[in-house]
């Protein structure tokens, strides 16, 4: 099959499918397998993570006092407020820093204190904390300064402050240097020793956490901080931090607060941007509001933007918004001129456009916009771009990159030619002497030749997975909406299909710039639109089928809603990045996975006891607990992240989960979250045959596996010694703890990672072991609907009927227990064979039966009550009290 001619065809980088894990998540979260795989692609590997992601509840945010130094910072600020001390808020000139500054200034006003604030000028002073500003503040009587979105590298400034009676509290989110400032307090989730679980907050996110802690400590209530979510949302989106975890929650709820904001400044900013509140989303914030705030700092003074965010005067807000709007238009004009000149230079140097990197310099370029222009050139030519704005003997540079080329590492490689540099993998800034530019460029080219192969210079298209075109439906679109809001690290899902049958394709719009097409499906034909893909119309006309990458969505026209895909790329066939084996694979719905994966070991054990006639449910705590260090990490928050960190501690680690499906989830999570453990994570549960006892023991003893994830029963079948055991889920009884203790080496550690949320999951497990009266009555009435005396029922179909009645966690084992109880109560006779049950209904009783007349019910009820009592005690007692259990 001939490929399409060169039309900027991209290299499709298809995410690896995880069929078993996606089926588990689909079942547990009540979503389709397609959406389950989308969650996996976004770093969601466990049911626990999936529930948090889909609910996005503000209550799931971590407590601010988990920050290192938060207590210290809050106490100092409250003391300063009460004593009437002079306080300075020191911010930054971009949208993140401006919103963070405005947020804290507003919080202090709510606390009854007017504070001074300062934001440096990008063009005059540059980024960071400046000693002269602190010196003047101290001379004016300021005794407390708080930075936002800056300060993590302010070593000298923090030292001076400490020596001159100015208490400096630094709040920042940037990567810390090897040596951090010796400030009075340092709030940054990335610094060593900070236990705050989420590390990707924007600067305004850290400021919001300080505000939350301050307002609660000042007695303003537990939700007062939420009125500042509009500013937090704006700054978070503007700073392009990963839109997952807490950032996604802040933005999701912040968009709602922003849409109904009472801030005159924000209302004027939205109005002057032409944004309707009902249409407000991350794109409108990122491309409509943020650029207007940033423009003030790029080509003028950031003070105008900060005044807009702080004003309470509607007339002043509108005047300032209009000024910012004109500033943004001027920024766009300047940017357009710089881009035009850069493209002209590339036309004069055609060899540059074909090289592995693009390096350009000019005395005509405004230093405030060259970063944006570098991004435009990177998008157009798919090359790393280095632009320099020259003035006198020096140049200020900005660089943007592509995947596979780390800009920060490239600048580090050439740092002997530079005056200064900083940034990260995809973007950086630098300063250089004019006399060093040529040697800098030459060394950059040498580095790029080493790092960038031809394949890395092909534009990449990240594809979430292949599906069958018939799976595109309104139901799928509605499910996908649940993953919003979208942004960096949570992109809008991009799906693909193989050999889609074309019915029609044609160019539409001005100059036929866009592509309109129809695809054949088993049901109605599917419409598609490809913006700026009109050039494909001619080649598609000769194709019967095509590989297509697209975003599913809905189209509304004349009151009619219909499914429509937005096409992003074509291939005939598509070019795949090393995943040719996926050409025929799809993320389609397959048969379900084994029910036994979802039954806890504890419950399976009790079913065995029933079958074997054993009625003992008592156990004593192993005496070996005396030799074990007990570490209490219950309700730590973000358990999966903590698990991945602890699993890399160096010792052989046993992770104990309650159910087989949890074993699979946690093993996947550790492997995907910690690539350094690839090939070193084994898992075992009662039903999997991959690791027999001898094989499992060998894996542990030889070091081929450094982490074993297992259920208690499965772990007890192998002989090995672990330096640490992570008891991940809430145990049902002491036997689960004993199974863990027996594998710990002398002096080893037992971590308790369970949480209060486990209790509800465990109750569902106990319900599957012993169904309540409602379930028993429901199935009895279901059986009596048939008038025949003798009947045979398919347990799978019967279970489906009970799931439809709302009993979604009850399986075939639960059904067998129910038949046993009903039989012992004299309501029916039955016998089971394989997946079928044959039963004979007896005359209906005249009065309600006492369930305790059933020995099975009475036995299981006692076990259930003992387990519930144990779990409550385990969650509430200090772990050292285990010695008294």
Q: Which two three-digit tokens encode residue 79?
A: 């003391």
At residue 699 the predicted structure's pLDDT band, cuts being 50, 70 and 90, is low
What percent of the chain is modeled with pLDDT above 70?
Answer: 93
pLDDT of residue 434 exceeding 60, the answer is yes
Confidence band (pLDDT; 50, 70, 90) for 580? very low
* Cis, bond preceding 543 (omega within 30 deg of 0): no
Q: Over 50: is that where the pLDDT of 34 sits?
A: yes
Query: Using CA atoms, how far apart are residues 468 and 472, in angstroms rounded to an integer?
Result: 8
Distance CA 269, CA 261 (A): 11
Residues 91 and 107 in one domain: yes
pLDDT tens for each residue of 178-224:
899 999 999 999 999 998 989 999 999 999 999 999 999 999 999 99
Pairwise CA distance, residues 147 & 157, whole Å: 12
Q: What is the mean pLDDT of residues 484-513?
A: 91
Range in 56-60, 298-302, 476-480 the model is least confident about: 298-302
Query: Domain range for residue 366?
Result: 357-445
Q: What is the domain-level CATH number for residue 801?
A: 1.10.10
Residue 110 contacts residue 77 (beta carbons within 8 Å): no
Out of 528, 557, 582, pick the residue that ends a domain: 582
Cis amide leading into 778 (omega within 30): no
Contact 516, 529 (CB under 8 A): yes
| Domain containing residue 408: CATH number | 3.10.310.30
Domain-embedded: residue 336: no
The verdict on residue 269 lying in a domain is no
Q: Are residues 396 and 420 in the same domain?
A: yes
- Taking the C-alpha atoms of residue 629 and residue 750, their distance in angstroms, rounded to an integer, is 6
- What local confidence, expressed as pLDDT, does residue 142 receive? 97
How many angstroms separate the most distant Cα atoms in the chain?
102
CA-closest candidate to residue 743, choices 857, 640, 628: 628
Is the per-residue pLDDT at 588 higher than 60?
Answer: no
pTM of the model: 0.89
Q: Does residue 744 contact residue 722 with C-beta atoms inside 8 Å?
A: yes
pLDDT at 88: 98
Is 708 contained in some domain?
Answer: yes
| pLDDT at res. 185 | 97
Residue 86 and residue 207 in one domain:
yes
Average pLDDT, the chain: 88
Least confident window among 402-406, 549-553, 852-856: 402-406
> 545, 566, 548, 470: which is closest to 502 by C-alpha?
545
Identify whether residues 767 and 666 lie together within a single domain. no
Q: Pick from 445, 469, 491: which residue ends a domain?
A: 445
Task: Read off the CATH number of the domain in which 573 is found.
Answer: 2.40.50.460
Segment 631-653 shows an average pLDDT of 88
pLDDT at position 353: 61
For residue 586, what pLDDT band results from cuts at 50, 70 and 90?
A: very low
pLDDT tens digits, 535-560: 888 888 878 888 999 999 998 888 78
Predicted confidence at residue 617, as pLDDT, reads 52
Same domain, 688 and 711: yes
What's the N-to-C CA distance of the chain in angstroms?
71
Q: Are 146 and 129 in contact (CB under 8 A)?
A: no
Quickly state the pLDDT bin for 321 (edges 50, 70, 90): very high
Q: Of 224-233, 385-394, 400-409, which one has max mean pLDDT?
A: 224-233
Helix (H, G, I), strand (E, B) or coil at 803: helix
244 part of a folded domain: no
pLDDT at 516 over 80: yes
Cis bond leading into 573, ω under 30°?
Answer: yes
- The structural domain count of the chain equals 5
In a domain, 854, yes or no: yes
Residues 375-385 have a mean pLDDT of 91
Picking from 864, 768, 773, 863, the residue whose alpha carbon sits closest to that of residue 827 is: 773
Q: Are strands 560-571 and 545-557 parallel, antiparallel or unpaired?
A: antiparallel
The residue with greater pLDDT, 368 or 52, is: 52
**Which residues have C-beta within 8 Å of that of residue 615, sequence separation ≥ 6?**
609, 859
Question: What local confidence, expressed as pLDDT, does residue 8 receive?
Answer: 62
pLDDT confidence bin for 40, thresholds 50/70/90: very high
Of residues 834 and 81, more confidence is placed in: 81
* pLDDT higher at 708 or 605: 708
Residues 683 and 810 in one domain: no
Number of Cβ atoms within 10 Å of the Cβ of 111: 17
265 in a domain, yes or no? no
How confident is residue 788, by pLDDT bands cut at 50, 70 and 90?
A: low
Residue 435: pLDDT band (50, 70, 90) is very high
- Would you call 21 exposed, middle or buried from its count of C-beta atoms within 10 A (0-12, 13-18, 19+)? buried
Q: Which of 550, 582, 614 is at the close of a domain?
A: 582
Q: For residue 17, is it within any domain? A: yes
CATH number, residue 166? 3.90.1640.30
- Distance, in Å, from the CA atom of 151 to the CA atom of 185, rounded to the nearest integer, reads 11
| Beta carbons within 10 angstroms of residue 626's beta carbon | 9
Listed in sequence order, the residues at least 6 apart from 280 whose beta carbon sits closer than 8 Å to its beta carbon are: 255, 258, 259, 270
Count Cβ neighbours within 10 Å for each residue of 588-616 and write b for 16 or more, e otherwise: eeeeebebbbbbbbbbbbbbebbeeeeee
Same domain as 718, residue 695 = yes
Measured CA to CA, the distance from residue 149 to residue 174 in angstroms comes to 8
Looking at the structure, tell me whether residues 543 and 665 fall in a common domain: no
Q: Are residues 855 and 745 in the same domain?
A: no
* Burial (Cβ within 10 Å: 0-12, 13-18, ≥19) of residue 555: middle
Residue range 10-27, pLDDT digits in tens: 889 999 999 999 999 999
Asked if 652 and 530 sit in the same domain, the reply is: no
Tokens found for residue 175: 């990567």
7 has a pLDDT exceeding 60: no
Arithmetic mean of pLDDT, 345-358: 81
The reply to whether 550 and 683 lie within a common domain is no
* Residues 328-351 pLDDT 10s: 999 899 999 999 999 999 888 877
The verdict on 658 and 773 lying in the same domain is no
DSSP structure string for 223-266: SGGGGGHHHHHHHHHHTT---SHHHHHHHHHHHHHHHT---HHH
**How far apart (Å, rounded) are the C-alpha atoms in residues 859 and 866?**
11
377 to each of 279, 287, 439, 444, how far by Cα in Å? 30, 18, 23, 18
Q: What is the mean pLDDT of residues 699-721?
A: 80
Domain membership of residue 811 (yes or no) is yes
Q: What is the CATH number of the domain that holds 695?
A: 3.40.50.300
């Amino acid at each position: 099959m001939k490929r399409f001619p060169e039309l900027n065809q991209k290299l499709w980088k298809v995410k690896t499918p995880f069929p078993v894990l996606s089926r588990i998540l689909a079942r547990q979260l009540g979503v389709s397998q397609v959406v389950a795989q989308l969650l996996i692609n976004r770093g969601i590997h466990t049911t626990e993570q999936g529930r948090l992601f889909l609910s996005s509840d503000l209550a799931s945010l971590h407590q601010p006092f988990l920050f290192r130094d938060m207590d210290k910072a809050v106490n100092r600020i409250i003391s300063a407020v009460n004593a009437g001390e002079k306080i300075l808020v020191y911010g930054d000139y971009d949208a993140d820093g401006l919103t963070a500054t405005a947020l804290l200034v507003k919080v202090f006003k709510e606390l009854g204190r007017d504070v001074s604030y300062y934001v440096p000028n990008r063009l005059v002073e540059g980024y960071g904390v400046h000693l002269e500003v602190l010196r003047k503040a101290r001379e004016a009587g300021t005794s407390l300064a708080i930075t936002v979105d800056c300060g993590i590298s302010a070593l000298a400034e923090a030292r001076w402050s400490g020596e001159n009676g100015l208490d400096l509290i630094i709040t920042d989110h940037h990567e810390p240097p090897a040596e951090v400032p010796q400030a009075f307090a340092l709030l940054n989730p990335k610094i060593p020793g900070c236990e705050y679980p989420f590390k990707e907050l924007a600067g305004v996110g850290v400021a919001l956490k300080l505000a939350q802690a301050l307002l609660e400590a000042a007695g303003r209530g537990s939700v007062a901080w939420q009125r500042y979510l509009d500013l937090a949302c704006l700054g978070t989106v503007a700073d392009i931090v990963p839109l997952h975890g807490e950032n996604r929650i802040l933005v999701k709820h912040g968009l709602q607060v922003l849409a109904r904001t009472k801030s005159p400044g924000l209302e004027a900013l939205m109005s002057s941007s032409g944004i309707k509140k009902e249409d407000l989303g991350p794109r409108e914030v990122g491309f409509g509001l943020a650029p207007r705030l940033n423009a003030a700092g790029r080509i003028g003074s950031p003070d105008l933007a900060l005044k807009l965010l702080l004003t309470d005067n509607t007339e002043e807000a509108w005047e300032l918004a209009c000024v910012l709007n004109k500033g943004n238009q001027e920024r766009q004009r300047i940017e357009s001129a710089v881009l035009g000149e850069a493209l002209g230079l590339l036309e004069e140097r055609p060899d540059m456009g074909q090289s592995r990197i693009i390096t350009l310099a000019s005395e005509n370029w405004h230093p405030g916009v060259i970063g944006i222009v570098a991004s435009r050139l990177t998008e157009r030519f798919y090359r790393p771009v280095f632009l320099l704005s020259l003035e006198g003997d020096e140049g200020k540079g900005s660089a943007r990159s592509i995947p596979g080329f780390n800009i920060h590492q490239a600048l580090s490689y050439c740092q002997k030619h530079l005056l200064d540099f900083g940034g990260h993998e995809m973007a950086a800034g630098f300063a250089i002497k004019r006399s060093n530019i040529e040697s800098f460029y030459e060394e950059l080219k040498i580095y790029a030749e080493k790092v960038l192969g031809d394949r890395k210079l092909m534009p990449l298209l990240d594809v979430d997975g292949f599906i069958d075109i018939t799976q595109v439906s309104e139901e799928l679109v509605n499910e996908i909406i649940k993953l919003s809001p979208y942004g960096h690290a949570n992109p809008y899902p991009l799906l693909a299909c193989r050999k889609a049958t074309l019915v029609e394709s044609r160019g539409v719009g001005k100059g036929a710039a866009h592509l309109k097409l129809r695809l054949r499906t088993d049901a109605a034909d599917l419409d598609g639109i490809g913006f700026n893909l009109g050039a494909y119309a001619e080649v598609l006309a000769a194709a019967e089928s095509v590989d297509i990458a697209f975003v599913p969505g809905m189209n509304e026209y004349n009151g009619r809603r219909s499914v429509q895909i937005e096409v992003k790329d074509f291939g005939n066939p598509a070019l795949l990045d090393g995943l040719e084996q996926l050409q025929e694979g799809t993320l389609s719905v397959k048969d379900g996975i084994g029910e036994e994966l979802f039954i806890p070991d504890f419950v399976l054990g009790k079913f065995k006891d029933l079958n074997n006639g054993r009625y003992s449910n008592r156990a004593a705590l192993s005496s070996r607990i005396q030799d074990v260090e007990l570490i209490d990490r219950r309700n730590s928050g973000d358990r999966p992240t903590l698990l991945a960190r602890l699993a890399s501690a160096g010792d052989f680690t046993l992770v104990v989960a309650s159910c087989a499906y949890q074993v699979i989830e946690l093993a996947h999570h550790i492997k995907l979250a910690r690539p350094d453990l690839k090939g070193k994570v084994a898992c075992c549960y009662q039903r999997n045959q991959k690791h027999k006892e001898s094989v499992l023991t060998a894996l542990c003893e030889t070091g081929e596996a450094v982490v074993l994830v297992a259920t208690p029963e499965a772990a007890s079948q192998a002989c090995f010694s672990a330096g640490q055991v992570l008891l991940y889920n809430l145990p049902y009884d002491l036997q689960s703890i004993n199974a863990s203790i027996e594998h710990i080496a002398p002096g080893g550690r037992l971590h308790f990672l369970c949480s209060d949320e486990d209790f509800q999951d465990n109750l569902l497990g106990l319900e599957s072991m012993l169904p309540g009266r409602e379930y028993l009555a429901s199935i009895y009435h279901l059986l009596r609907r048939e008038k025949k005396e003798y009947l045979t029922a398919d347990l799978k179909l019967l279970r489906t009927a009970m799931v439809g009645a709302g009993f979604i966690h009850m399986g075939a084992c639960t059904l067998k227990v129910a038949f046993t109880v009903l039989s012992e109560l004299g309501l029916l006779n039955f016998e089971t064979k394989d997946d079928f049950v044959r039963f004979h209904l007896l005359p209906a009783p005249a009065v309600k039966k006492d369930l305790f007349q059933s020995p099975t019910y009475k036995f299981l009820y006692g076990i259930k009550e003992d387990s519930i009592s144990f779990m409550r005690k385990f969650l509430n007692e200090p772990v050292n009290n285990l010695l008294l259990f």
